[in-house]
Amino acid sequence: MRGQYLFSEADMFSVIENQKAAATKKVQQVSTAQLQATPEGELVSQLVEQLRLNVPVMKQPYVAESGEAQVDVSRDPRRAIFDRSGPFYVLGTKTVIAVPFEGDRELFRVQPNTFSTMKPMAELAGNEIRLTYEQAEPNSEAIKAAYTKTLQEIEQYLGWQRPSAEDFNTQLEGLIRQGVSERKQKLAAGAAMIGSLGLPTAKPE
């Protein structure tokens, strides 16, 4: 099967720490005008939605592509091939199973805190996972068994991610609310300080 190993490019701990740093930076990037004009609860909700971790939820799989293909059988020990140093092609079939999902596609690259030594292999294409099977002879039972096993493995990894993501999402609102509150307090303290100077805030005529 074609594809790349999923859940193998980053670790969940690092991702969460990066998201915490991003939350602090995001609060600092809010303009003074927006900070003053937007109700605190609304502003916090907006920032939380931008930064929360949305673990993907997979939907109903379907056949995205099927047809003839040149299939390399050089590694098939049942075939009488005298030179196995390179590919040996026969006309076979290609089947692509696509699985739509909702959520953050980048989390398919993130290793959860709990994991196994075997990682599922697939392709990421937009908001779909794609599983490609090439066969010298069409065999629906083999494809069904293979994609069912892969989807079970992916679901297991997503399940391992969810507790960490949920914990972070719970902490995120408090982290952002604290940052927004501190900025507002500093703005208020600055305004009070300027007021205490007893000077006009515009150039006199």
Quote the mean pLDDT of the chain.
89
Domain boundaries, the chain: 4-76+86-181
Measure the CA angle with vertex 46, ends 45 and 49; round to 5°: 85
State yes or no: pLDDT of 75 exceeds 80: no
Q: Which of 64-78, 96-110, 135-149, 172-186 has the lowest mean pLDDT?
A: 64-78
> What is the sign of the dihedral through the CA atoms of 9, 13, 16 and 21?
negative
State yes or no: pLDDT of 107 exceeds 80: yes
pLDDT tens by residue, 158-199: 999 999 999 999 999 999 999 888 888 888 888 888 888 888
Average pLDDT over every residue of 98-120: 94
Instruction: List the beta strands (DSSP E) in the chain.
Output: 4-5, 10-11, 57-58, 62-72, 89-102, 110-111, 121-125, 128-135
Measure the CA angle with vertex 70, ends 81 and 65; round to 5°: 145
